[in-house]
Chain A
């Protein structure tokens, strides 16, 4: 089955073209990573600052390949019952209550304790069957008949126990449910893990993954991204705003603006009918790009200088 995925992505170039066709502009390295992930059946661990398109990559991959995207957000205290599967306890209880009389009748036919117990055992199997199983994201991704894109978001937020638990799934694409047996993936899903590096992941985890670091894009790539996402931004304004953001990134800020902020800003500028960057306009909208007060103060000081430079660059 995975073969068909491989035929969908025969080369690195086709990965690149495919992602572009759904509006995600990848760098060469990103396409290489995705290509290898499919070939080697390895999960990709995507690291990078917030807003550079880590989650977006998973969405675009799913869209391009026509696979369902199954997303699991990690947080402190996430455990197996939330991530893998759970028994529908309420439903089980309700059914036993409803079927109480029925069961009583059935059991009455047996005189001895042994026979009744054997019969009861059969009920037990009845109540721990697929019918009462609530699959959570990990199990769902394994049971998807055509394969899936599994996005495990912010895996660094989960605790170490959970990370260890993930290892089995990520290396063998199978899990063991004591009552049912081992579930093996029909088609191994494409797994993307994202991390904001708030915590160092274990070596065992890193070893199993391809390690992709997405940084801030260079001016050329960023322009292309803005162009694809917001085609009605005029070329001149696009060049100016990208160059402005690039210059902001060279500063020592607490939170550097990332691609998503560039896009937000571009949208804001369109709404304000701007055709060029102007000092007042930039000052008023700087809060779209910068999220901390001290960053705003620092950024404000350089607005004039950055705009001048952006204009000369855009004029070329």
Chain B
């Protein structure tokens, strides 16, 4: 019975429930305490010991239900007395175990054989859908399919056509069952691996080439990443500087014992939350990256001291209020409608920004500019860029284009580069995460 639970736990791991060895031991202890009699109680107990979040609980319960579901094997009704007699006659000369069980319609026996064979061929190692047939075949071989086939041929040669036909039909049904069994194993044991694979791919897929159908999943991914980053930086706002005595506060605290410094107070450094000004090019292919950058930043509002965001293509507008008020997808569509058309003009955008919004940039501000730097041969206005650079704590330029394309054609990126603290290529969610993480870290 321990094996059954062990395999269930392995399946649960595949299903995304993180189970450590210690938790396995706990689970066994729990099972010992409640016994196997009541399936509902067993399920509750295991869920209680193993699942650590609501999501894990849901996936564990799903795995549990699937694992203990045994489909009734397709078969005929119970044989009558006459039929059994006939059966006994038919059984004569049939030697292989599998054939005997099939003839007797012993479904439990066949199921048990299938489980055993499945384990012997390592059914729980199945990873890909394409492996189902292969594994099913191996399992059937292990169950004694070759002998069965030989026996069917032998029966035909002996002229016992009827019995042979019956066995043949059972053999076909058996094949279907085997494949169904393997498919179930696949969903049980490989679901986690596939999901992980898919998410890994998504993390590194170029945002500009993202499929529409992956949006939803991607949004979830971004939210998770943002949560992770947020929890990493939602830490104390002040740290002691060891070795720098704060004399004023030490004296005050020790007033009660005539200012003899029993208790020392160290100078403290205040940790700033970063203030962020994001300026996003929303034309063409850059828009897609902008969408996710903004999604990222707005998932982090608690960790940041404030975000102001601006979108531009031919003109520049502030979009903070749109993004705060609405669902981010709707907001982006609205922004794209407002400014998304017309040829991009970086110089003009910088001009408008300098006139209207430069006062929001101070020495605590990190300015993130997202764009490919292709200004359609308009004057780049690097003087304004220098101005921005001098005012801000950091200027980071994210360029969705890969490095080799920089500076080709109408790209002004190299002209802006001297006025940025960091220019980096950024076109996947993974690289976005790195950049945002970096911004928060350097603020500390």
Q: Which residues of A contact B (CB under 8 A)?
A: 12, 28-29, 32-33, 35-36, 39-40, 42, 47, 199-200, 203, 206-207, 210-213
CB distance from B37 to the nearest CB of A (A): 11
Contact across chains for B34 and A32 when beta carbons are under 8 A apart: yes
| 8 A Cβ contacts from B23-61 to A | 23, 26, 29-30, 33-34, 40-41, 44-45, 47-49, 51-54, 57
With contact pairs A28-B44, A32-B41 given, residues A12 and B34 touching in the complex (Cβ less than 8 Å): yes
Closest 9 A/B residue pairs (Cβ):
A206-B52, A39-B33, A32-B44, A210-B48, A29-B44, A33-B48, A36-B30, A40-B29, A211-B52
- Given A12, A29, A35, A207, which contacts B23 in the complex, CB threshold below 8 Å? A207
In angstroms, Cα B49 to Cα A33, docked, is 9
Contact across chains for A36 and B34 when beta carbons are under 8 A apart: yes
The reply on B22 being an interface residue by CB < 8 A is: yes
Contact across chains for A212 and B34 when beta carbons are under 8 A apart: no
Main secondary structure of the interface of B (DSSP, over half): helix
Residues of A within 8 A of B45 (CB): 32, 36
The reply on B376 being an interface residue by CB < 8 A is: no
A-B pairs with beta carbons under 8 Å apart, 14 shown:
A29-B44, A29-B47, A32-B44, A32-B48, A36-B34, A36-B45, A199-B231, A206-B52, A207-B22, A210-B49, A211-B48, A211-B49, A211-B52, A212-B48
Given contacts A32-B41, A35-B34, 10 further A-B contacts (CB under 8 A): A28-B44, A33-B48, A35-B33, A36-B34, A39-B29, A199-B231, A206-B52, A211-B49, A211-B53, A213-B57
- Given B30, B33, B40, which contacts A28 in the complex, CB threshold below 8 Å? B40
Residues of A within 8 A of B53 (CB): 211
- The residue on B at minimum CB distance from A29 is B44
In angstroms, Cα B47 to Cα A28, docked, is 13
Residues of B within 8 A of A203 (CB): 52
Contact across chains for B57 and A211 when beta carbons are under 8 A apart: yes
Tally A-B pairs: CB < 8 A: 53
| 8 A Cβ contacts from B55-77 to A | 57
Quick one: which of A12, A32, A40 has the most chain B CB within 10 A? A32
Quick one: which of B23, B33, B34, B44 has the most chain A CB within 10 A? B44
Contact across chains for B48 and A29 when beta carbons are under 8 A apart: yes
CB distance from B154 to the nearest CB of A (A): 56
Residues of A within 8 A of B33 (CB): 35-36, 39-40
CB distance from A23 to the nearest CB of B (A): 23
Contact across chains for B231 and A200 when beta carbons are under 8 A apart: yes
- The residue on A at minimum CB distance from B26 is A40
CB distance from B147 to the nearest CB of A (A): 47
Residues of A within 8 A of B96 (CB): none
- The residue on B at minimum CB distance from A206 is B52
Main secondary structure of the interface of A (DSSP, over half): helix
Contact across chains for A40 and B52 when beta carbons are under 8 A apart: no
Residues of B within 8 A of A213 (CB): 54, 57
CB distance from B41 to the nearest CB of A (A): 6
Contact across chains for A40 and B30 when beta carbons are under 8 A apart: yes
- The residue on A at minimum CB distance from B54 is A213
CB distance from A242 to the nearest CB of B (A): 24
For B225-258 the 0/1 string (1 means CB < 8 A from A) is 0000001000000000000000000000000000
- The residue on A at minimum CB distance from B19 is A207
CB distance from B187 to the nearest CB of A (A): 25
Contact across chains for B26 and A42 when beta carbons are under 8 A apart: yes
In angstroms, Cα B48 to Cα A40, docked, is 12
In angstroms, Cα B231 to Cα A36, docked, is 32
In angstroms, Cα B52 to Cα A200, docked, is 10
Residues of A within 8 A of B231 (CB): 199-200
CB distance from B51 to the nearest CB of A (A): 6
- The residue on B at minimum CB distance from A38 is B33
CB distance from B240 to the nearest CB of A (A): 14
Residues of A within 8 A of B54 (CB): 47, 213
- The residue on A at minimum CB distance from B236 is A159
In angstroms, Cα B227 to Cα A199, docked, is 10
CB distance from A114 to the nearest CB of B (A): 25
Quick one: which of B23, B34, B48 has the most chain A CB within 10 A? B48
CB distance from B350 to the nearest CB of A (A): 40
Residues of B within 8 A of A210 (CB): 48-49
Residues of A within 8 A of B44 (CB): 28-29, 32-33
CB distance from B189 to the nearest CB of A (A): 24
The reply on B20 being an interface residue by CB < 8 A is: yes
CB distance from B436 to the nearest CB of A (A): 19
In angstroms, Cα B23 to Cα A12, docked, is 22
Residues of A within 8 A of B57 (CB): 211, 213
- The residue on B at minimum CB distance from A203 is B52
In angstroms, Cα B234 to Cα A200, docked, is 12
Residues of B within 8 A of A206 (CB): 52
Residues of B within 8 A of A32 (CB): 34, 41, 44-45, 48
Residues of A within 8 A of B52 (CB): 203, 206-207, 211
Residues of B within 8 A of A212 (CB): 48
Residues of B within 8 A of A199 (CB): 231
Residues of A within 8 A of B47 (CB): 29, 211
Contact across chains for B41 and A28 when beta carbons are under 8 A apart: yes
- The residue on B at minimum CB distance from A212 is B48
CB distance from B17 to the nearest CB of A (A): 11
In angstroms, Cα B30 to Cα A206, docked, is 16
Residues of A within 8 A of B51 (CB): 211
